[in-house]
Amino acid sequence: MRAGSPRMLREINDRAAIEALLRAGPLTRSELEVAIGLSKPATAQLLTRLEQEKVVGKAGERGGGRGPRAQLWAVNGGLAHVVAVDLTPHLADFVVADVAGTVLAEYQVRLPVHEGADVVGTFGEALRHVTAAAGLRLADLANVVIGAQGAFDPRTGLLSSAPHIAGWLGFDVPARLSEELGIAVTIENDVNLVAVEEMSEGKAQHVDDFVMVWLSEGVGGAVVIGRRLLRGATGGGGEIDWMRVPDPATVDTGDQWPEAGARFGNLVDSPAVTRLAKAHGITAEAGWDAVNQAKSLPDNGFLDDLARRVAGGIASLVAVADPQLILLCGETSRAGGEEFAANVAEKLHALVLPRTPVGVASVQGNAVRAGALQSALATAREDVFGVVTPTLLGSRRPAGGTPSAALPTE
């Protein structure tokens, strides 16, 4: 087929129209004309063709003031369905959506994750429950994406750095689930999925390179270069928890760090933050509670010390990647807000040459589940419509290759 042939041009225009409808939701014909740059007759022919192929359909009307009502067009969401899951030790949060992104059902359930638990069986039961609630069967699902607190090696299918969900360790997770359920299942690091959602709906929509740092009960990170997640050879890209860094705190917290330095995660996870707060005279049960208390105290010094710790870990990433933006997320980061982010930026700029801005992630609600849904939809849309969104694709296991060394476990 020659470049520029009528068939190729139709395919290009069709994909452009589908992308516009997926991005903006139902559109009138005139709105679609503007979005894809086609003439009125060409757009009408395109919509007729896509309607005949059941790719798009009429989706109600929009009032036009005193004039006639305009027909709305939308992608046929029933062409494929996906499931996204946020898997934590406390709760599994499921959502079912059609390929247009319309949510059909949600389900939250506590699943056993301890060593020896039937994690595959109980996960399958929960998946069947939420799928049935959406009026579907498992066979109707195009794919399932799971976000988990750990590092996933796409070459081996193994999770690591996840002692909190011990039952999910030691086996090829996507292969086992895919075989048992008869559906394509992928698994992704939770902070990577938060980065996906931030690229889709948050402050990183128009940023090519950024680093995300998760500060909560535990610590995690994600690195995006050229709007692609940097997963690394073994899935360890962004696993900043394991970095060895010095402790720049100005008070004695009673911790005895090894000569090589403390693990970054042991400096800024919730227990570490509460110990640091206690050394400054603040008693709190969680790191974010300590930050909230400190915000109302004059010149306590705790937030400065915490900012120094966070900046000390981020500095290595900034020195290597020189990103356009650092985004802090997680409960501790949200408690600190933009004022704490500015404090981190000040401490960071004393350590590295780039003057990278630091902010707080803007996505609300369950960003892990939302990012998993974006990833699942991207894969389904590529398969159904040929619409490719490389940034949002879930981790697909590379064909062949020699497995690299696995990440360490606790």
**pLDDT for 215-246, tens place per residue?**
999 999 999 999 988 888 888 888 898 899 99
**By C-alpha distance, which of 29, 70, 34, 30 is closest to 50?**
29
**By C-alpha distance, which of 230, 120, 219, 222 is closest to 170?**
120
Listing DSSP states for 361-392 in one string gives: ----S-HHHHHHHHHHHHHHHHHHH----GGG
Angle at 285 between CA 281 and CA 288, to 5 degrees: 85
Whole-number Å distance between alpha carbons of 396 and 287: 35
Confidence band (pLDDT; 50, 70, 90) for 394?
very low
pLDDT digits (tens, 9 = 90+) for 326-349: 999 999 999 999 999 999 999 999
Confidence band (pLDDT; 50, 70, 90) for 66?
low
Question: According to the model, what pLDDT value does residue 183 have?
Answer: 95
pLDDT of 195 above 90: yes
- How far, CA to CA in Å, does 223 sit from each of 196, 249, 313, 320? 11, 26, 14, 11
Tell me the average pLDDT of the chain: 90
Confidence band (pLDDT; 50, 70, 90) for 390?
low
Contact 318, 356 (CB under 8 A): yes
Confidence band (pLDDT; 50, 70, 90) for 170?
very high
pLDDT digits (tens, 9 = 90+) for 90-112: 899 999 999 999 999 999 999 99
pLDDT of 393 above 70: no
Share of the chain above pLDDT 90, in %: 76
Indicate the helix (H) or strand (E) that contains 85.
strand 81-87
3-state secondary structure of 63: strand
226, with CB counted inside 10 A (0-12, 13-18, 19+), is exposed
Whole-number Å distance between alpha carbons of 167 and 171: 9
Higher pLDDT, 406 or 7: 7
Question: According to the model, what pLDDT value does residue 237 have?
Answer: 86
Listing DSSP states for 160-228 in one string gives: ES-GGGGGG-SS-HHHHHHHHHTS-EEEEEHHHHHHHHHHHHSTTTT-SSEEEEEESSSEEEEEEETTE
Listing DSSP states for 120-175 in one string gives: HHHHHHHHHHHHHHTT--GGGEEEEEEEESSEEETTTTEEES-GGGGGG-SS-HHH
pLDDT digits (tens, 9 = 90+) for 246-269: 999 999 999 999 888 899 999 999
How far is the first Cα of the chain from the last one, in angstroms, to the nearest whole number?
55
User: Which segments of 300-343 are extended strands (E)?
Assistant: 325-329
Question: According to the model, what pLDDT value does residue 104 have?
Answer: 98
**By C-alpha distance, which of 120, 121, 90, 129 is closest to 366?**
90
pLDDT digits (tens, 9 = 90+) for 134-156: 999 999 999 999 999 888 888 89
pLDDT of 51 above 90: yes
Question: According to the model, what pLDDT value does residue 397 have?
Answer: 43
Task: Give all domains of the chain, ordered by start, each with its CATH number.
Answer: 6-75 (1.10.10.10), 78-193+367-392 (3.30.420.40), 203-360 (3.30.420.40)
Task: List the 56-64 sheet strands across, edge first.
Answer: 27-28, 67-75, 56-64
Share of the chain above pLDDT 70, in %: 93
Higher pLDDT, 273 or 69: 273
Question: According to the model, what pLDDT value does residue 150 have?
Answer: 86
